[in-house]
């Protein structure tokens, strides 16, 4: 058998401990599959004394992840600490400077620094792989980079944040308000340390920007992602959507248009019976569309110890087998800087607002919509909530620009209380 592949693992939390377990429990299987042993030389975390449910006694310990990344007995630096900057970025750069390959689960770091890291890796003759960074255990990076490499990718869509999908489906199934389910998700340990990364759509936006880079040969552009979180969705929105045959999902859509790269991660109404509509709990789903292959749907656990460690191991085993794919599926220097484009394709919208309950209020709203070129498909006023009346419109197809124009106009009527909620209805 050939020489072992030696890992240095920084971060021994949920994912790191999961990776150590797989390597310890399946050493023979991994060696059989790759033709060489996969071993851990050294590990690093903040606290040396924490019980992590794994035996670390056979590994060298480094307090400093940069020192770990540059050790002579490390071939691959496995970065599982997280954070867009700080120690994760410093240690990744140090590893590449020392000629080590890198495997990471860190979508935040790559969404912000992916292009520079890819360029550094290629200049050093190293690879950076990140299967675990997008949709946990689903092998979507490999599917796009390798399995679909012969296709022109036309669209990437998906539900890529399990926490948001848990919150939205739990609200619907248990009839609970957002705040209560948010606290439940916190108690279950689903939320990131900064919950806004989840519910603000940022984590899912990071993931979408990484898939877009591979799909469209573009430099990662997280700033170009149109982002909206789920914090404004009420149980009433979920009930009204369900009543019309829809479910609300935090949906990512990326496509290349003649105007530029469209990337949006926003709550949308999707048909309840569509594959995305039926997605429950913390599960993720990614839909890939290619000109030759048609549509591919990938579904699975988007987070958690086992699924995420499984994805990390896929990258480690590729390196052990000598499979060396560029970070975003083509040389970094050939990735285009594509200008971001706002979605202009017209779609029906769900528009909910609270009106002052007095004569003429509805007429003012109807006038603003008409003046913005928006035609009403359905309208419903439900359950008066003194002193306001909740009102819901479903529009005929319109553009986001027209809708924004209307929302500005609505604020000036003096009869709309608070901000209206506007959700795109995706036909899928
Ligand atoms: P975690 O449970 O919070 O673990 C983070 C680990 O990093 C901890 O062991 C921590 O040490 C260590 N660490 C933090 N700062 C450090 C430093 N300065 N020096 C050395 N070690 C340091 O996080 P996680 O959930 O495993 O996530 C790790 C990465 O995977 C993140 O990039 C995350 O976004 C990504 N990811 C996670 C999941 C998931 O389901 N959890 C899914 C996909 C991707 P201590 O234990 O001593 O505090
Ligand atoms: N916070 C993320 C989620 C973890 O809920 O999907 C996996 O990236």
pLDDT 10s digits, 2-16: 899 999 999 999 999
Tell how far the Cα of 30 is from the centroid of ligand 1, in angstroms: 24
Nearest to 114 by CA among 239, 206, 225, 20: 206
How large is the average pLDDT for residues 159-185?
96
What angle separates helix 162-174 from helix 235-243, to the nearest 10 degrees?
Answer: 70
Q: Is residue 120 part of a domain?
A: no
Whether residue 361 is found in the same domain as residue 269: no
Q: Is residue 283 part of a domain?
A: yes
CATH number of residue 357's parent domain: 3.30.70.260
Q: Which atom of ligand 2 is nearest to the CA of 164?
A: 5
Tell me the sheet residues that pair with 49.
none
How large is the average pLDDT for residues 262-291?
96
Indicate if ligand 2 lies below 6 Å from the C-beta of 162.
yes
Looking at residue 223, what DSSP letter applies?
G
Indicate if ligand 1 lies below 6 Å from the C-beta of 141.
no
Residue whose Cα lies nearest atom 4 of ligand 2: it is 303
Whether 207 is catalytic: yes
Q: Is residue 111 part of a domain?
A: no
Residue whose Cα lies nearest atom 7 of ligand 2: it is 303
What angle separates helix 305-321 from helix 27-34, to the nearest 10 degrees?
Answer: 40
Tell how far the Cα of 46 is from the centroid of ligand 1, in angstroms: 10
Whether residue 199 is found in the same domain as residue 279: yes
Q: Residue 189: what pLDDT?
A: 84
Whether residue 77 is found in the same domain as residue 165: no
Whether residue 363 is found in the same domain as residue 227: no
Confidence of residue 261 (pLDDT cuts 50, 70, 90): very high
Last residue of a domain, one of 312, 341, 370: 341
Indicate if ligand 1 lies below 6 Å from the C-beta of 23.
no
Last residue of a domain, one of 104, 130, 153: 104
Q: Is residue 264 part of a domain?
A: yes
Q: Is residue 414 part of a domain?
A: yes
Nearest to 133 by CA among 200, 64, 83: 83
Q: Which atom of ligand 2 is nearest to the CA of 192?
A: 1
pLDDT 10s digits, 82-138: 999 999 999 999 999 999 999 999 999 999 999 999 999 999 999 999 999 999 999
Q: Is residue 327 part of a domain?
A: no
The total of structural domains in the chain comes to 3
Indicate if ligand 2 lies below 6 Å from the C-beta of 198.
yes
Whether residue 55 is found in the same domain as residue 179: no
Q: Residue 1: what pLDDT?
A: 60
Residue 34 CB-half CA count within 13 A: 26
Nearest to 7 by CA among 241, 312, 266, 252: 312
Indicate if ligand 1 lies below 6 Å from the C-beta of 230.
no
How large is the average pLDDT for residues 259-287?
96
How large is the average pLDDT for residues 302-324?
97
Confidence of residue 342 (pLDDT cuts 50, 70, 90): confident
Indicate if ligand 2 lies below 6 Å from the C-beta of 163.
yes
Whether residue 65 is found in the same domain as residue 25: yes
Whether residue 70 is found in the same domain as residue 188: no
Q: Residue 406: what pLDDT?
A: 97
What's the CA gap between 87 and 80, in Å, rounded?
11
Computed over every residue of the chain, the mean pLDDT equals: 96
CATH number of residue 182's parent domain: 3.30.360.10
More confident residue, 192 or 251: 251
Q: Is residue 415 part of a domain?
A: yes
Looking at residue 152, what DSSP letter applies?
P
How large is the average pLDDT for residues 282-304?
96
More confident residue, 197 or 383: 197
Whether residue 337 is found in the same domain as residue 360: no
Q: Residue 427: what pLDDT?
A: 84
What's the CA gap between 262 and 256, in Å, rounded?
6
Q: Residue 352: what pLDDT?
A: 95
Residue 325 CB-half CA count within 13 A: 23
Q: Is residue 126 part of a domain?
A: no
Q: Which atom of ligand 1 is nearest to the CA of 311?
A: 43
Domain that holds residue 393: 349-425
Pairing type for strands 376-381 and 60-61 reads: unpaired
What's the CA gap between 140 and 298, in Å, rounded?
7
pLDDT at 145 over 80: yes
Q: Which ligand is nearest to the CA of 165?
A: 2
Indicate if ligand 1 lies below 6 Å from the C-beta of 302.
no
Whether residue 262 is found in the same domain as residue 148: yes
CB distance 373 to 359 below 8 Å:
no
- Pocket probe for ligand 1: among 9, 10, 12, 15, the residue whose CB has the most ligand atoms within 8 Å is 15
CATH number of residue 9's parent domain: 3.40.50.720
pLDDT 10s digits, 49-73: 999 999 999 999 999 999 999 999 9
Tell how far the Cα of 296 is from the centroid of ligand 2, in angstroms: 22
Confidence of residue 298 (pLDDT cuts 50, 70, 90): very high
Q: Identify the active-site residue in 100, 107, 207, 364.
A: 207
Q: Residue 375: what pLDDT?
A: 97
pLDDT at 386 over 80: no
Whether residue 207 is found in the same domain as residue 233: yes
Whether residue 90 is found in the same domain as residue 171: no
Indicate if ligand 2 lies below 6 Å from the C-beta of 302.
yes
Last residue of a domain, one of 57, 87, 104: 104
CB distance 49 to 15 below 8 Å:
no
List CB contacts of 43: < 8 A, sequence separation 6 or more: 8, 9, 10, 12, 16, 20, 56, 59, 60, 61, 62, 68
Residue whose Cα lies nearest atom 8 of ligand 2: it is 303
Tell how far the Cα of 308 is from the centroid of ligand 1, in angstroms: 12
Q: Residue 343: what pLDDT?
A: 78
**Percentage of the chain lying above the pLDDT 90 cut:** 93
Q: Which ligand is nearest to the CA of 300?
A: 2
Whether residue 231 is found in the same domain as residue 277: yes
């Amino acid at each position: 058998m050939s020489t072992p592949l030696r890992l240095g693992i920084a971060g021994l939390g949920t994912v790191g401990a999961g990776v150590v377990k797989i390597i310890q429990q399946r050493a023979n299987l991994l060696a059989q599959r790759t033709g060489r042993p996969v071993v851990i030389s050294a590990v690093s975390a903040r606290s040396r004394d924490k019980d992590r449910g794994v035996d670390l006694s056979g590994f060298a310990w480094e307090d400093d992840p940069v020192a770990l990344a540059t050790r002579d007995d490390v071939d691959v630096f496995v970065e599982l600490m997280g954070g867009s900057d700080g120690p994760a970025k410093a240690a990744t750069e140090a590893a590449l400077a020392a000629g080590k390959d890198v495997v990471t689960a860190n979508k935040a770091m790559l969404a912000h620094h992916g292009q520079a890291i890819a360029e550094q890796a290629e200049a050093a003759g190293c690879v950076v792989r990140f299967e675990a960074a997008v949709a946990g255990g689903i092998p979507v990076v490999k599917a796009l980079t390798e399995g679909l490499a012969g296709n022109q990718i036309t669209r990437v869509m998906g539900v890529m944040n399990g926490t948001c999908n848990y919150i939205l489906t739990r609200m619907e199934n248990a009839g609970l308000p957002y705040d209560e389910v948010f606290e439940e998700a916190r108690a279950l340990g689903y939320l990131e340390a900064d919950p806004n990364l989840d519910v603000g759509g940022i984590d899912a936006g990071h993931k979408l920007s990484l898939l877009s880079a591979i799909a469209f040969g573009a430099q990662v552009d997280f700033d170009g992602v149109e982002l909206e979180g789920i914090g404004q969705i009420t149980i009433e929105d979920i009930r009204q959507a369900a009543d019309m045959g829809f479910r609300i999902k935090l949906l990512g859509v990326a496509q290349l248009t003649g105007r530029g790269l469209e990337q949006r991660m926003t709550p949308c109404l999707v048909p309840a019976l569509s594959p995305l509509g039926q997605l429950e709990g913390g599960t993720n789903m990614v839909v890939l569309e290619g000109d030759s292959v048609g549509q591919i749907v990938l579904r699975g656990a988007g987070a958690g110890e086992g699924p995420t460690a499984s994805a990390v191991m896929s990258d480690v085993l590729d390196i052990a087998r000598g499979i060396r794919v560029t970070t975003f599926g083509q040389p970094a220097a050939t990735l285009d800087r594509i200008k971001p484009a706002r979605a202009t394709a017209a779609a029906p919208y769900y528009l909910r607002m609270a009106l002052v309950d007095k004569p003429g209020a509805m007429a003012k709203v109807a006038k603003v919509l008409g003046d913005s070129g928006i035609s009403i498909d359905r309208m419903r006023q439900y359950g008066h909530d003194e002193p306001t009346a909740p009102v819901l419109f479903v529009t005929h197809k319109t553009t986001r620009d027209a809708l924004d124009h209307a929302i500005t106009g609505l604020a000036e009527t003096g009869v709309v209380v608070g901000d209206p909620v506007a959700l795109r209805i995706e036909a899928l």
